[in-house]
Chains A and B, each alone.
Chain A
Amino acid sequence: MCGINGIYAFRSAANLPTDGELVATRDHMRTRGPDGAGIWWSENRRCGIAHRRLSIIDLSERANQPMVSTDGGLVIVFNGEIYNYPALRAELQTEGVKFRTASDTEALLHLYARDGEAMVHKLRGMYAFAIWDVVKRALFLARDPYGIKPLYTANDGWTFRFASQVKALLAGGSVSRDPEPAGIVGFHLFGHLPEPFTLYREIRELPAGHFQWISEVGSHEPRQFAKLATVLAERGRNPGAPSELNAQVRQATLDSVSAHLLADVEVGVFLSSGVDSGALLGLMRDAGQERIRAITLGFDEFVGTSEDEVPFAAHVAKLYGAEHIVRRVSVNEFHEDLPRIFDAMDQPTIDGVNTWFVSKAAKEAGLKVVLSGLGGDELLAGYPSFQDIPRWHRRFGLPASIPFLGRAARVLTPLLTPSLVRRQPKSVGMLEYAGSWAGIYLLRRGLFLPHELPSLLGEDMAREGLRRLKPVSAIAAHLSPDPKAASGRVCLLESCNYMRNQLLRDADWAGMAHSLEIRVPLVDWNLAKALSPSIPGFVPGMGKQALALAPAVPLPDTVRGRSKTGFSVPTGRWMTYTMGPAVQHFTKGHASRDWAKLVLKTPNFSFVQAL
């Protein structure tokens, strides 16, 4: 896990990029890579790339980046981990390739030399990288299929820039801060920035599962090389026998966890009271890891309530013989850390506080790498949305298709049942959005609904943002090709929207702020491919049950039977202290709305409100 960046003045008239800018962008990402830093310039100085290193595989200086191939023809900067690199290395060595280091970075260089852009199909892992091809005078960028690692780009028409963080690009001083209405509207609709948009018009995220070429000809459009919908649609045609599900889940998750333990430093685990992290811990044990340190967050506010994860987590840690580290977080610490949290937050988000504190705890324990159960709910139908969304579609889909009924309901509901609307502000949108899967998802995950935006952002910003973002069709694009089953559709909706743009982004900035690499074995392309025949057929509870039974010593019934909590943080309650007792939160949704407003008041993002 590292920070990468680069500048390429592809248009011959453009001024040569400067050391100052390249280094300013790189060093804004200091916490991403505290162990080393480097820069490299092409001979004509039109292209410069830079790297900050967090060393995890091959800790020697030979593995520093930017890494140049032996013949000098290729240069790479890479953020992430390639979990199948031992196999790739062996394959390349049998073909006569000589390795100078033991790093996965070098494997990428050789693989590109052999396969060119087709190399991306061989990779298993989380990655964002850039390769400068000296002969082609072109940059090749790629980002992993799930979008675990971030990669932001900015093209002003003459010069192309990229970096692992939006704020790092801005720190270089040459990228426009003109606002992007689609990003601003996206944040209000979802509580996160939907890719490829950011808050700034000039900065875009290279979408997950895409690569992009930038040559002397110019910046070429990103091309998609992997899509989850395609995997589910193709493999879902031959569903596996339900009786084989448990064995299949066990085999595939153990394989993924084993792959994710590849490191030259100790790998820990985030342990909540849920099935996902508990099963990961058990599988780590099965994969042969001897010493395992598991970290759990505890809050005084939750002691004695069902939300307290500590007793359950302690039970699971004991079961698998892990060293259990319980980190207590108080409201005071929350307030103390809040400015740093906002400073580290790369783009506005309504979540990530939990990851901030658990990453902080991991760093205090001296860990550089941890496994997280992130992604289990998306893959194994763990969220309530796997029940709610199909139910809403059955119940409201037909009336929602009657022209104008949805809009009429939106106008009339507040008049007829004002208290319902106060408690459930999104209820007014049910008949307007329930006509399509994408519409229901917008409603289900939405922070605010489109009709609320003009009063928050002004008419023009709301209209322009919605026009550029096209939220419903953007969500619907992830559902094509159609997996033809409810669970498959919700899996796509959650994986390609909430998980990609919210959970994975939050894990990145909050982990990186503590120089911690968070690995996600349940967000793994091989795992998704292995389970894809079963995913469309999941009924609620089935996938999670299989995961709970996956370790050789299965998770106990007490954990299996717990309703979903995840890593929850009493932020709603803490905000009442922050914003005053006048703030009354009926639901988590209300708290999220207030949190979103608070985020936009911080210095980095307050320009949005000034627009």
Chain B
Amino acid sequence: MSVVLALVTDAFGGRGGIAQYNRDFLSALASCGHQVTAISRYAPDEVQLPAGIVQRSSHAGRIAYSVAAFGEAIFHRPDIVFCGHIFMAPLAWMVARVAAAKLVIQTHGIDAWSRPSRLVRWTCEQAAIILSVSRFTRARVLDWAAIPPERVLVIPNTVSDCFKPGNGAALRHEWKLRDKKVLLTVGRMCASERYKGQDRVINLLPRIINAGLDVVYVIAGKGDDLPRLERLVHEVGVSDRVRFVGSLPHEKLIEAYRMADLFVMPSTGEGFGIAYLEAMACGTPALGLAASGARDALLEGALGFITDDATLGRSIVEILKNPDVDRGELSRKVQQAFGVDQYRRCVSNAIAILEQTA
């Protein structure tokens, strides 16, 4: 079994999608018997470590972080250096050189879609393997990196089994949504990105209402694009139909997924789109565009619904009018394709490929 040094922005005790991914990945490594040491830059929350993982206290500053990384490389001689984000690839490459370890670089979403700086690109090309969360991200990496395609592997996101179907009535009651058709989007609202597509749904609401549906659109998440979306809601004249509920704590998030009729995220910029999986694991159908990593999360339409921009409104109406969903079956299918067992197998396969590299 290998000794793994993980250089990550955040993992255990961190927040957000990348921290979640790192926790899943490192836990899967540990469960396969590898000995993992993580060095994290941020850990605002309480740190709960699974067996087999050590996380060094966080070093937000670059110099302190680098010193800690080299110290680990020199004194603990890892076999594998895992780099959790491509912007750290040059540091990870040097650390791997010092330790004579194999370098594994993780790519997520838009961070890896356009050609990075020459230095980052070169260090990525030196990696033994590059991991991507979706086929789309993998294809973009192969666009800019001259690396054999067999060395760029897809490890999709996974979803914990705490996301499962259940009763959402209490939250509907609390949010006064009884007898409404509820659309839900969960995602960051970032003014510099604006790809999640909440604005697309807001613009379609009048059409959906005209189709005879008593619909409410719940938007969860926070970010600096919120004021623009609030203005848009006002302009479109659907203020009574849209609820901005902010960032939800874990338990409430699960309840929100359960109470919704349709999770809709017509995003054009998903690395993978973990929220689709979470919604479907809670038994709620999910709808996305045939763009970027969402195709993987929705299994090309075999698991969730896939549409294009032009037919988005019609698709939403059709799904809401025909709510014939076996929620238990949908959740089972999600776990079958993307559950923790599948994820662990993916990780152990990647390590098997890594071991074959020179």
**In the bound complex, CA of A470 to CA of B146 (Å):** 10
Q: Are B143 and A221 in contact (CB under 8 A)?
A: no
- Whether A12 and B337, one on each chain, are in contact in the complex, defined by CB atoms closer than 8 angstroms, is yes
Return B113 CB to nearest CB of chain A, in Å: 13
B32 to chain A: closest CB distance in Å?
Answer: 13
Binary contact track A180-221/B, C-beta < 8 Å → 1, others 0: 001000000000000000000110100000000000111111
A204 and B302 CA atoms in complex are apart in Å by 28
Q: B132-153, CB under 8 A of A: which get 1 and which 0? A: 1011001100110010111111
Interface size class of A (residues with CB under 8 A): 20 to 34
Q: How large is the interface on B (under 10, 10 to 19, 20 to 34, 35 or more residues)?
A: 20 to 34
**In chain A, residues 400-456, which have Cβ atoms closer than 8 Å to a Cβ of chain B?**
none
Task: Determine whether the beta carbon of B346 is less than 8 Å from that of A11.
Answer: yes
Residues on A with C-beta less than 8 A from B352 are 217-218
Q: For chain A, residues 15 to 43, give those with C-beta under 8 angstroms from any C-beta of chain B.
A: 15
Question: Known contacts being A11-B154, A156-B139, A157-B154, is A468 close to B146, with CB within 8 Å?
Answer: yes
Interface string of A37-79 (1 = CB under 8 A from B): 0000000000000000000000000000000000000000000
B299 touches A (CB below 8 Å): yes
Q: Give the docked Cα–Cα distance between A219 and B154 (Å).
A: 11
Instruction: Determine if A158 is an interface residue (Cβ-Cβ < 8 Å).
Output: yes
Would B342 and A12 count as touching, CB distance under 8 A? Answer: yes
- Complex Cα–Cα for A12 and B154 (A): 12
Q: Are A13 and B337 in contact (CB under 8 A)?
A: yes
Give every chain B residue within 8 A of A202 (Cβ-Cβ).
139, 142, 149
- Chain B residues lying within 8 Å of A158, measured Cβ to Cβ, are 135, 154, 296
A217 to B151, Cβ gap below 8 A? no
A14 nearest in chain B by CB position: B299
- Pair B349/A221 contact, Cβ less than 8 Å: no
Q: B-side binding surface: helix, strand, loop or mixed? A: helix
B230 located at the interface, meaning its Cβ lies under 8 Å from any Cβ of chain A in the complex: no
Is B150 in contact with A220, judged by CB distance below 8 angstroms?
Answer: yes
B299 and A155 contacting across the interface, CB-CB below 8 Å: no
Find out whether the CB atom of A217 lies under 8 angstroms from the CB atom of B349: yes
Assess A220 versus B139: contact at CB under 8 Å? Given A11-B154, A15-B302.
no
List B120-166 residues whose CB lies under 8 Å from chain A.
132, 134-135, 138-139, 142-143, 146, 148-154, 156
Contact of B356 among A11, A204, A220, A470 (CB under 8 A): A220
The answer to whether the Cβ of B345 comes within 8 Å of any Cβ in the partner chain is: yes
Q: Is B353 an interface residue (CB 8 A)?
A: yes
Contact assessment for A156 and B135 in the assembled complex, using a CB-CB cutoff below 8 Å: yes
- Are the C-beta atoms of A218 and B135 separated by less than 8 Å? no
Asked if B199 is at the interface of the complex by the 8 Å CB criterion, the answer is no
Q: Does the CB pair B337–A218 fall under 8 Å? A: no
**Which residue in chain B gives the minimum CB-CB distance to A196?**
B148
Q: 1/0 per position for A137-148, CB-CB distance to B under 8 A?
A: 000000000000
B310, chain A: closest CB distance, angstroms: 21
Could you tell me the distance between the alpha carbons of A67 and B134 in the complex, rounded to whole angstroms? 35
Quick one: CB contact mask for A151-168 with B, threshold 8 Å, 1 for yes? 000011110000000000
A601 within 8 A of B: no
Q: Collect the chain B residues with CB atoms within 8 Å of residue A176's CB.
A: 139
A residues less than 8 Å from B299 (CB atoms): 13, 15
Please report the C-alpha to C-alpha distance between residue A382 and residue B257 in the assembled complex, in whole angstroms.
Answer: 74
Q: Does A467 contact B (CB under 8 A)?
A: yes
Question: In the complex the two chains form, what is the Cα distance from A189 to B316 in whole Å?
Answer: 51
Q: Is B338 an interface residue (CB 8 A)?
A: yes
Q: Which of B146, B150, B342, B346 contacts A467 (CB 8 A)?
A: B146
Q: Given A11-B154, A158-B135, A220-B150 in contact, is the A201-B337 Cβ separation under 8 Å?
A: no
Task: Please list the residues of chain B having a beta carbon within 8 angstroms of any beta carbon in chain A.
Answer: 132, 134-135, 138-139, 142-143, 146, 148-154, 156, 296, 299-300, 302, 337-338, 342, 345-346, 349-350, 352-353, 356-357
**Complex A-B: 12 CB contacts under 8 Å:** A13-B296, A13-B299, A13-B342, A157-B153, A158-B154, A182-B146, A202-B142, A218-B349, A218-B350, A220-B356, A221-B150, A468-B146
3 nearest A-B residue pairs (beta carbon): A157-B154, A217-B349, A221-B150
